[in-house]
Structure 1
Amino acid sequence: MPGSLRRQPANRVLVPQFTHHHVAVFLLTFFSYSLLHASRKTFSNVKVSISSQWTPSCLNDTALQLQPYELWNSSHLFPDIGEATLFLGTLDTIFLFSYAVGLFVSGIVGDRLNMRWVLSFGMCSSALVVFVFGTVSEWLHFYNKWFYCCLWIVNGLLQSTGWPCVVAVMGNWFGKAGRGFVFGLWSACASVGNILGAFLASSVLQYGYEYAFLVTASVQFAGGVIVFFGLVTSPKEVGLPEVGEEGDGGGAAEEDAREPLMGGNDSYDEDDQNYTIQAADPSSSPQPRAIGFFQACCLPGVILYSLAYACLKLVNYSFFFWLPFYLSSNFGWKEAEADKLSIWYDVGGIIGGTIQGLISDVLQKRAPVLAISLILAVGSLVGYSRSPNSKVINAVIMAITGFFIGGPSNMISSAISADLGRQEMVRGSSEALATVTGIVDGTGSIGAAVGQYLVSLIQENLGWMWVFYFFILMTSSTVLFITPLIVREISVLLGETPVRRSAG
């Protein structure tokens, strides 16, 4: 029986049955990564305040004029705001480079250790580093560039434990059926974290930027403790079957849930129809070995999506790191107002990831949905670069831009990463989800790291308009990298259409 006909029932069962354990895992992983992102967002939201604090008070109208002048200004880091801004961009780059390196390592570690321990350790220890970076150093009036750089390197390594672990845990609990919608909704955790971080930072910023770091670090630490005692990383820990082990009860929908969306190969061996990624009985089958790094790189689609995500994450994280600063410097809006307005980009990303994930579930193809969204993203970037000095118009165009950029970014980093780590090629080695996720997100973070320094450099020498030209170039490059996958999946989709009509 042709594979295309066998996949039909999955169209009618987009979301499988869930237990309360599924809901608990969804919420715990969602909010754990939201808190990690909230602490990152805090740094981007207080850049104006930090740059003011790191420059002489004679150049800073908001700083208190304390006497004697020589004593209170002897520890300033930079002679002017421009150099302080460039260093902030350097810190973003340092963080993302260490984050990228950590992702490659954390993915491998997550597949070999208990992911609950790894995730909880990363959250709590990262919270302590953020607390020292933003709060303790300001309370002690200790300002040192090398100290900040070292702390941000450590923070990047610790925060890298988050994404591979949460994606792998979600992949353990949720099968292919409905994964685009479920992961599209779940991947809003990053955007919710950005909104939460912006809200927490703006609510206490009037007391000093150090309290913004204090609040977010405290909440993140508490979240890490809750994850340690509450997260169940795999269904087998509570006596439930693994994804793909439901047997005959799952029917054709679960059979399709084990088949990858990544390729266009319709061939399917009858001998493999009962194939499951995890062995149902560990006592009768050898324990699956964790996949190697280079093996994971050779899986179909991993390299292409990793390179595409490097370009796309560069753009997405540039909005993440620089949007509040851009609104303050370009339009002269107050920092707290800019922080709140930047939330609309994340709102657009939440809606975009959910809707595009649902559409990809219906089509059973990811790449064409990504391509259409990214082409429209180029137009939205052109429109946003010419946004007038109006908060309402700016917010609307910002949300549209987030829809077409944040949505695809969420899909690649979550649903597509889970697809790549659960595809049919990974036979006898199910422990691949965290490794593959680390490769995709790590490569993306390298691109984002390079981009943050380039953004600050381009803005300093050429202005913000050239920054947007740079974003358009990177978005177009994302489409080019996934072009082979787009062509293959569209060909398969067109080939399946006549079969579906005849079956109907």
Structure 2
Amino acid sequence: MAWPDLFHRGALLSRLSHHHVAVFLLTFFSYSLLHASRKTFSNVKVSISKQWTPTALNRSVEPVEIWSRNHLFPGAEEATLFLGTLDTLFLFSYAVGLFISGIVGDRLNLRCVLSFGMCSSALVVFVFGTVTEWLHFYNKWLYCCLWIVNGLLQSTGWPCVVAVMGNWFGKAGRGVVFGLWSACASVGNILGACLASSVLQYGYEYAFLVTAAVQFAGGIVIFFGLLVSPEEIGLPGIEAEENFEEDSHRPLISGAENEDEYEANYSIQEGSTVTPIQAISFHQACCLPGVIPYSLAYACLKLVNYSFFFWLPFYLSNNFGWKEAEADKLSIWYDVGGIIGGTLQGFISDVLQKRAPVLALSLLLAIVSLVGYSRSPNDKSINALLMAVTGFFIGGPSNMISSAISADLGRQELIQGSSEALATVTGIVDGTGSIGAAVGQYLVSLIQDNLGWMWVFYFFILMTSCTVLFISPLIVRETCSLVQRRQARVLSE
């Protein structure tokens, strides 16, 4: 197996300047901070529920006047249901926002859009969790409106950071770079848990305060420090660099039956000068090869991935009777598995120069891991191990589709010369995925209440199988291409 040129003689490292490192770190931590605020909300749900449903046993609410003012719900079940409703509203507004943010990001300055989203979202989180508690003002409609607005504002993050990364890092080596970089969501989950737990003893409002303050500061840093593209400082863009090199392999996103057909179908007026394309329309982005299959596949996969994100601590406490704090700490192993899986699978896809076959193998093994995890014994060590394996095979492909593959789709030869497609394509892929995740949260609670946790895992297995089904044409095509390449190499030897 011939490795890409970028892996030989340290070529990848030799191409990285301090600007590349700065862009990597700034985009990484900007999205980590956005995810941290989401995780904070998940971590303080128990405290919020207690504050909204004070009882005679709640000694923190002694005067009758305060009890009446805080009595937003008659019981914990109603409060929990409303918190789940807020999750669903957030995900739906986040999904709609992703479609809009992708289009906006390709037409406005990515740095400004990202900074605005981070700072504005921080203010909304501050009002939602801190101001309302300081003023003892509890209103269901206000909470719903604020969380819908927060979803729209947070949606500016992912399309913008993927587009900026795509501007700086070319397709050669993109799998391993984006695989490592896509760990930003998992790091954000861990960061949010740490920030919330560090101040939760003073009241849940301080968890929101700290998270919002850090996120707002991050938005200011992004506005003054992030370079959107190499052209901003006079460096050649990714496309210009790649055009000077001999292309020793075919593009990772391929729409033809073989490589010769790819050259015929995806070359834009070979031998002529390519006119730079302005931001492409939403319809044009949807029609790009691979966008719809990967979007539908990601809707199924993100449903499973986000179900683990929202429900794993609850499942551990509910199914095994473990304490909430212990369940929160144990759930981190799923994120650890996703980080390792995304990086390793991205590296393998770079070596193979194909993404779909790597995804297919990982998803098939994910089905096996889901079966194994659903039958985990009441042992924390074994559960953590099975959880990490499950995260490896589910979180890894999820990270690949949302980052490296989205960047591949937004920089196909079909639209070469246009950097104004990355955010739009990323918004379509992640937006479709978020719709699936939003629907999934309701279905998971419905299935669990009526049929039990084992049927929830059967549902996860079905959705993972649908993920493979949606990209099966790409899997077959790219696998055949690998076989043909191997046969050609054998014949030439």
Q: In which range does the TM-score fall when normalised by the shorter chain?
A: over 0.9
Return the offset for 1:324: 2.1
Query: Residues 299 and 434 of structure 2 are in contact (CA less than 8 Å); yes or no, is this contact kept in structure 1?
Result: yes
Query: Residues 103 and 438 of structure 1 are in contact (CA less than 8 Å); yes or no, is this contact kept in structure 2?
Result: yes
Give the secondary structure class of the aligned counterpart of 1:365: coil
Give the secondary structure class of the aligned counterpart of 1:431: coil
The AA in structure 2 aligned to 1:146 is W
Change in CA separation of 1:164 and 1:270 when aligned onto 2, cut-off 3 Å = closer
Q: Are 1:262 and 2:254 matched, yes or no?
A: yes
Q: Are 1:131 and 2:126 matched, yes or no?
A: yes
Query: C-alpha separation between the residues in 2 aligned to 1:333 and 1:24?
Result: 41
Change in CA separation of 1:391 and 1:205 when aligned onto 2, cut-off 3 Å = farther
Residue aligning to 1:225: 220
Among residues 88, 94, 118, which one is paired with 1:99 in the alignment? 94
Q: Are 1:140 and 2:132 matched, yes or no?
A: no
Query: Residues 54 and 61 of structure 2 are in contact (CA less than 8 Å); yes or no, is this contact kept in structure 1?
Result: no
Residue aligning to 1:335: 324
Give the secondary structure class of the aligned counterpart of 2:288: coil
Query: C-alpha separation between the residues in 2 aligned to 1:440 and 1:247?
Result: 25
Query: Residues 159 and 423 of structure 2 are in contact (CA less than 8 Å); yes or no, is this contact kept in structure 1?
Result: yes
Residue aligning to 2:424: 435
Residue aligning to 1:471: 460
Give the secondary structure class of the aligned counterpart of 2:259: coil
Query: C-alpha separation between the residues in 2 aligned to 1:46 and 1:54?
Result: 12
Change in CA separation of 1:349 and 1:85 when aligned onto 2, cut-off 3 Å = same
Query: Residues 267 and 414 of structure 2 are in contact (CA less than 8 Å); yes or no, is this contact kept in structure 1?
Result: no
Residue aligning to 2:32: 34
1:255-334 map, 5 Å: 255=247, 259-264=251-256, 265-267=258-260, 268=263, 287-334=276-323
Residue aligning to 1:56: 54
Q: Deviations over 1:99-125 (max 9, x none)?
A: 011000100000011100000000011
Query: C-alpha separation between the residues in 1 aligned to 2:248 and 2:178?
Result: 17
Q: Report the more deviating stretch, 169-178 or 419-428.
A: 419-428
Residue aligning to 1:282: none
Residue aligning to 1:425: 414
Query: C-alpha separation between the residues in 2 aligned to 1:409 and 1:276?
Result: 38
The AA in structure 2 aligned to 1:259 is P
The AA in structure 2 aligned to 1:473 is L
Give the secondary structure class of the aligned counterpart of 2:378: coil
Change in CA separation of 1:56 and 1:461 when aligned onto 2, cut-off 3 Å = farther
Return the offset for 1:15: 3.0
Query: C-alpha separation between the residues in 2 aligned to 1:491 and 1:423?
Result: 20
Q: Report the more deviating stretch, 328-337 or 203-212.
A: 328-337
Query: Residues 180 and 415 of structure 1 are in contact (CA less than 8 Å); yes or no, is this contact kept in structure 2?
Result: yes
Query: C-alpha separation between the residues in 2 aligned to 1:43 and 1:276?
Result: 55
Change in CA separation of 1:236 and 1:258 when aligned onto 2, cut-off 3 Å = farther
Return the offset for 1:45: 1.5
Q: Are 1:500 and 2:492 matched, yes or no?
A: no
Return the offset for 1:259: 3.3
Change in CA separation of 1:257 and 1:166 when aligned onto 2, cut-off 3 Å = farther
Change in CA separation of 1:385 and 1:262 when aligned onto 2, cut-off 3 Å = same
Query: C-alpha separation between the residues in 1 aligned to 2:221 and 2:4?
Result: 41
Give the secondary structure class of the aligned counterpart of 2:235: coil
Query: C-alpha separation between the residues in 2 aligned to 1:375 and 1:10?
Result: 29
Query: C-alpha separation between the residues in 1 aligned to 2:486 and 2:423?
Result: 35
Change in CA separation of 1:96 and 1:256 when aligned onto 2, cut-off 3 Å = farther
Query: C-alpha separation between the residues in 1 aligned to 2:62 and 2:268?
Result: 79
Q: Are 1:120 and 2:115 matched, yes or no?
A: yes
Return the offset for 1:70: 6.3
Query: Residues 53 and 73 of structure 2 are in contact (CA less than 8 Å); yes or no, is this contact kept in structure 1?
Result: yes
Q: Deviations over 1:114-170 (max 9, x none)?
A: 100000000011011111111111222222111111011000000000000000000
Using the size of structure 2 for normalisation, the TM-score is 0.93
Q: Deviations over 1:259-291 (max 9, x none)?
A: 3433354123699699899x8xxxxx8653101
Among residues 394, 417, 429, which one is paired with 1:405 in the alignment? 394
Change in CA separation of 1:286 and 1:331 when aligned onto 2, cut-off 3 Å = same
Instruction: Mark the runs of 5 or more structure 1 residues left unpaired by the alignment.
Output: 280-284
Q: Are 1:236 and 2:231 matched, yes or no?
A: yes
Query: C-alpha separation between the residues in 1 aligned to 2:119 and 2:270?
Result: 39
Give the secondary structure class of the aligned counterpart of 2:354: coil
The AA in structure 2 aligned to 1:244 is E
1:384-403 map, 5 Å: 384-403=373-392
Instruction: Mark the runs of 5 or more structure 2 residues left unpaired by the alignment.
Output: none
Residue aligning to 1:381: 370
Query: Residues 260 and 424 of structure 1 are in contact (CA less than 8 Å); yes or no, is this contact kept in structure 2?
Result: no
Query: C-alpha separation between the residues in 2 aligned to 1:335 and 1:438?
Result: 35
Q: Are 1:15 and 2:12 matched, yes or no?
A: yes
Q: Deviations over 1:3-52 (max 9, x none)?
A: x99x9746748836111111110000001001100111111112222222
Query: C-alpha separation between the residues in 2 aligned to 1:179 and 1:222?
Result: 29
Q: Are 1:191 and 2:186 matched, yes or no?
A: yes
Query: C-alpha separation between the residues in 2 aligned to 1:270 and 1:247?
Result: 20
Query: C-alpha separation between the residues in 1 aligned to 2:134 and 2:444?
Result: 31
Return the offset for 1:73: 3.8
Return the offset for 1:334: 2.9
1:246-261 map, 5 Å: 246=241, 251-252=245-246, 255=247, 259-261=251-253
Using the size of structure 1 for normalisation, the TM-score is 0.91
Query: C-alpha separation between the residues in 2 aligned to 1:217 and 1:74?
Result: 26
Query: C-alpha separation between the residues in 2 aligned to 1:481 and 1:72?
Result: 52
CA RMSD across the alignment: 2.6
Among residues 102, 106, 111, which one is paired with 2:106 in the alignment? 111
Q: Deviations over 1:462-482 (max 9, x none)?
A: 332222222121111111111
Query: C-alpha separation between the residues in 1 aligned to 2:182 and 2:149?
Result: 25
Query: C-alpha separation between the residues in 2 aligned to 1:469 and 1:68?
Result: 48
Query: Residues 47 and 325 of structure 1 are in contact (CA less than 8 Å); yes or no, is this contact kept in structure 2?
Result: no
Q: Deviations over 1:377-409 (max 9, x none)?
A: 112222222223322222111111111110000
Query: Residues 171 and 418 of structure 1 are in contact (CA less than 8 Å); yes or no, is this contact kept in structure 2?
Result: yes
Q: Report the more deviating stretch, 357-366 or 206-215.
A: 206-215
Query: Residues 277 and 415 of structure 2 are in contact (CA less than 8 Å); yes or no, is this contact kept in structure 1?
Result: no
Give the secondary structure class of the aligned counterpart of 1:246: helix
